[in-house]
Amino acid sequence: MPSPEPEALLSTVFGFSAFRPSQEEIVRAVLEGRDTLAIMPTGGGKSLCYQLPALCREGVTVVISPLIALMRDQVRGLRAAGVEAGALTSGNTEEETEEVFAALDAGRLKLLYMAPERLGSSATLPLLRRIGTRLIAVDEAHCVSQWGHDFRPDYLRIGDLRKALGVPLAAFTATADAETREEIVARLFGGRTPATFLKGFDRPNIHLAFAAKDQPRRQILNFAAARKGLSGIVYCATRAKTDALAAALREAGHTAIAYHAGMEADDRRLAETRFQREDGLIVVATVAFGMGIDKPDIRWVAHADLPKSIEAYYQEIGRAGRDGAPAETLTLYGPEDIRLRRAQIDEGLAPPERKAADHARLNALLGLAEALSCRRQKLLAYFGETAEPCGNCDLCENPAEVFDATEAVRKALSAILRTGENYGSGHLIDILTGTLTNKVRDRGHDQLPTFGVGRELSRGAWQGVFRQITGQDLIRPDAERHGALRLTETALPVLKGETRIELRKDAVRTAPKTAVKTLVSEEDAPLLSALKAKRRALAEAARVPAYVIFPDRTLIEMAEARPGTLDEMARVSGVGAKKLESYGAAFLEVITGARVEMHPARRKLAGTEEGSLFDRLEEVQRGLVRGLDGTGKYLSCTHTTLRRIAETRPKTLSDLDRIGGLGEQKLDRFGKAFLEILSDA
């Protein structure tokens, strides 16, 4: 019996008269048994691209999907359309699981949805072989990216499963930059390039808007009030804020619920079900919500805090308007958001090159927030697409007021260069505004030509300048040097006066109304984050709570004092002899960027007067190892002997001899010189 044609099933099963753009060629590639990677915008009809081939092919198509809610929703929709589908998840009841196995044994099931965690079971591979698996489809394929914002470790098993079954694989995602695409190809397809379909990222029905934070709760309440009765999502950076904002929305007369990973699983499932079924419900959530929600009529998405990256932003706003009807977004941002997101990157355990990439992604989002013209052009350009001004964003409707900021930007870039690209914006602004802090004075930066050249702008205005030129990728924080700003190639023509730079007036004119409370100064925050990351790694390796390594107050003092040697590290409060021996070198390496080598005998004296005495004894010994004339036999005392001398401080040659470890020749060579040092101590 010939296989059914996809066009016929498209109409009879799914009720569509024609494919959407790009769907047909993807379906054909999958049907031909080619490994396939499709990057399509949210709402672009990804699921149909593997559901339709599954119905045209013999055997079972296994769909790996990251969220139970997403699988349940798709199985429900397929069954409603008359398609035999089932899911094996931890959320199943015993009866549901038995029903799925019965359908598999009877050969009725065409699509089997599985959570990635199930791939870790030794029973999974034999099961998939037994039921006649002919295709693996991977939804949300970007979850395989180890350093992505949705990483799922069990996605790393999919590549081995593909090889073991010897079947083609079709991977789908709505958001994947070039780097993530390379990771998908390497991990899912074994490095062999699949048939790749990169379709337009534009969602023209979604209105884009950003606003600087100014009483953010009021801003969100006003945005929701103007859309009362419409389904929406509000994303927050913390669980506590979701609860508080949901309560505020309820007080304002909205039907609103909170959703975050700290809730019980049953409560989360109830929230998902309510959102699917109730009209006009608002969910205030962390990013844990939405990836599995296939609700087509979400009319608005608001971010109460800046998202983690431009990819996260794109994916989260993409949950609005999946039916193609108009939808609106609003993203609030402020200095505290940027500081939080920088700290999250710096405190992670990713390698330096990954942290640098994550900072670049955040910079791209800042560039979108501080854009001078059409936001959609800026967003699509990040994904490698060109577009005309969209007419459907806040900047197309109300163009930003800009000014020629070339001179101010050149001053900022000059300050960065003249201080060796070793400082963050806080210290640089002190230099530009002529603020004589202890740090400025101690480093001699009050003598620089740039000291005080920027007094015409306020501190808040300079913060706006630095924020905007970061967004324009003229400067980047260096993850390996704790957030110190460095120039990019793009900045050089500006510095030389070959290129003009325009900035937004509002972003420079408007200073934050309230000071952000932080553990340390803005200048020391990146180093504190790096120290916390080291503490976390050591704590996980030792399987102890982080505070057992060092409490926060000790790390804060390290970040502020920046000890350069183990002796200086030993003077930091909370660094005792044992902890100095165990962890001192590791934390010092974070601060200085260089590996610390010190003999164990010397390390026991770190931070003490005896340690300084040891160094002087060692120095004089180095000058005498071949005698005064440099021609004698090579002689030296061991580090342990020098430590005993420093600790006991003998006053005569006889006392020195009694310490042991010298002998007559060494006593003759070094004795007098050692006693002179000891008498001065």
Which of these three, 350, 380, 397, is where a domain ends? Answer: 397
Is the pLDDT score of 514 beyond 60? no
Distances 18 to 8, 22, 299, 509 between C-alpha atoms, Å: 10, 11, 25, 52
User: Is 286 a member of any domain?
Assistant: yes
Angle between helices 335-346 and 352-369 (to 10 degrees): 160
User: Is 603 a member of any domain?
Assistant: no
Percent of the chain exceeding pLDDT 70 equals 95
pTM: 0.68
What is the count of structural domains for the chain?
Answer: 5
Q: Are residues 33 and 147 in the same domain?
A: yes
pLDDT of residue 93: 84
Q: Are residues 19 and 65 in the same domain?
A: yes
Q: Are residues 434 and 368 in the same domain?
A: no
Average pLDDT score over residue span 442-449? 93
User: Is 87 a member of any domain?
Assistant: yes
Task: Tell me phi and psi for residue 307, to 5 degrees.
Answer: -65, 175
Q: Are residues 233 and 216 in the same domain?
A: yes
Task: Tell me phi and psi for residue 295, to 5 degrees.
Answer: -90, 115
Contact 483, 342 (CB under 8 A): yes
**Which is nearest to 602 in space by CA: 569, 644, 663?**
644
Residue with tokens 């230099």: 431
CA dist 74 and 56 (Å) reads 18
**Band of residue 513 on the pLDDT scale cut at 50, 70, 90:** very low
Q: Are residues 391 and 244 in the same domain?
A: yes
Distances 452 to 435, 449, 511, 593, 658 between C-alpha atoms, Å: 7, 8, 20, 31, 62
Q: Are residues 211 and 360 in the same domain?
A: yes
Contact 199, 22 (CB under 8 A): yes
Q: What is the pLDDT of residues 567-585, one digit of tens each?
A: 889 888 888 878 888 899 8
C-alpha dihedral sign at 79, 82, 88, 93: positive
Contacts 24+ apart (CB under 8 A), 77-86: 77/294, 78/51, 78/111, 81/13, 81/14, 81/15, 82/13, 83/13, 83/51, 83/55, 83/110, 83/111, 84/108, 84/109, 84/110, 84/111, 85/109, 85/110, 85/111, 85/112, 85/113, 86/111, 86/112, 86/113
CA dist 681 and 677 (Å) reads 6
Q: What angle do CA 144, 147, 150 make, to 5 degrees?
A: 60
User: Is 265 a member of any domain?
Assistant: yes
Q: What is the pLDDT of residues 53-73, one digit of tens each?
A: 999 988 999 999 987 777 887
CA dist 180 and 199 (Å) reads 16
Tokens of 399: 């163009």
For residue 91, the surrounding DSSP H or E stretch is none
Q: What is the pLDDT of residues 73-82, one digit of tens each?
A: 788 878 878 8
Q: In the predicted model, what is the mean pLDDT of the chain?
A: 87
**Band of residue 600 on the pLDDT scale cut at 50, 70, 90:** confident
Q: Are residues 213 and 177 in the same domain?
A: no
Q: What angle do CA 15, 18, 24 make, to 5 degrees?
A: 115
Average pLDDT score over residue span 286-303? 76
Q: What is the pLDDT of residues 628-657, one digit of tens each?
A: 888 888 898 888 899 899 989 988 888 888
Q: What residues pair up with 172 in beta bridges, in sequence order?
A: 38
User: Is 517 a member of any domain?
Assistant: no
CA dist 448 and 432 (Å) reads 10
Q: Return the minimum-mean-pLDDT range out of 152-166, 278-292, 351-365.
A: 278-292
Contact 587, 531 (CB under 8 A): yes
Percent of the chain exceeding pLDDT 90 equals 40
pLDDT of residue 541: 87
User: Is 514 a member of any domain?
Assistant: no
Average pLDDT score over residue span 297-302? 91
Distances 419 to 413, 495, 564, 591, 646 between C-alpha atoms, Å: 10, 15, 19, 18, 40
Name every residue whose Cβ is closer than 8 Å to that of residue 389 and which is 6 or more positions away in sequence: 373, 374, 376, 377, 396
Q: Are residues 144 and 245 in the same domain?
A: no
What's 344's domain CATH number?
3.40.50.300
**What's the one-letter identity of residue 194?**
P
Is the pLDDT score of 539 beyond 80? yes
Is the pLDDT score of 351 beyond 70? yes
User: Is 311 a member of any domain?
Assistant: yes
Which residues form the domain of 494?
402-509
For residue 2, the surrounding DSSP H or E stretch is none
Q: Are residues 407 and 436 in the same domain?
A: yes
| Segment of 34-48, 187-201, 246-260, 333-347 carrying the highest mean pLDDT | 246-260
Q: Are residues 91 and 28 in the same domain?
A: yes
What's 485's domain CATH number?
1.10.10.10
Is the pLDDT score of 450 beyond 50? yes
**Which is nearest to 487 in space by CA: 428, 405, 559?**
428
**Band of residue 188 on the pLDDT scale cut at 50, 70, 90:** very high
Which of these three, 457, 476, 509, is where a domain ends? Answer: 509
Average pLDDT score over residue span 461-470? 91
Mark residue 630 as left, alpha or beta (left: phi above 0; alpha: psi -120 to 50; beta: remaining): left
User: Is 515 a member of any domain?
Assistant: no
Which of these three, 182, 198, 214, is where a domain ends? Answer: 198
Q: Are residues 136 and 226 in the same domain?
A: no
pLDDT of residue 519: 62
**What's the one-letter identity of residue 531?**
L
What's 535's domain CATH number?
1.10.150.80
Name every residue whose Cβ is closer than 8 Å to that of residue 457 and which is 6 or more positions away in sequence: 408, 432, 433, 465, 508
With helix as H, strand as E and coil as C, how does 592-650 read?
Answer: HCCCCCCCHHHHCCCCCHHHHHHHHHHHHHHHHCCCCCCCCCCCCCCHHHHHHHHHHCC
Q: Return the minimum-mean-pLDDT range out of 160-169, 213-222, 294-303.
A: 294-303
Q: What is the pLDDT of residues 233-272, one digit of tens each?
A: 999 988 889 999 999 999 999 999 999 888 887 888 888 8
Is the pLDDT score of 374 beyond 60? yes
Residue 496, number of CB atoms within 10 A of its CB = 10
pLDDT of residue 297: 78
Which residue intervals of 391-524 are DSSP H helices? 394-397, 406-418, 425-432, 438-442, 459-471, 491-495, 505-509
**Band of residue 611 on the pLDDT scale cut at 50, 70, 90:** confident
Q: Are residues 573 and 659 in the same domain?
A: no
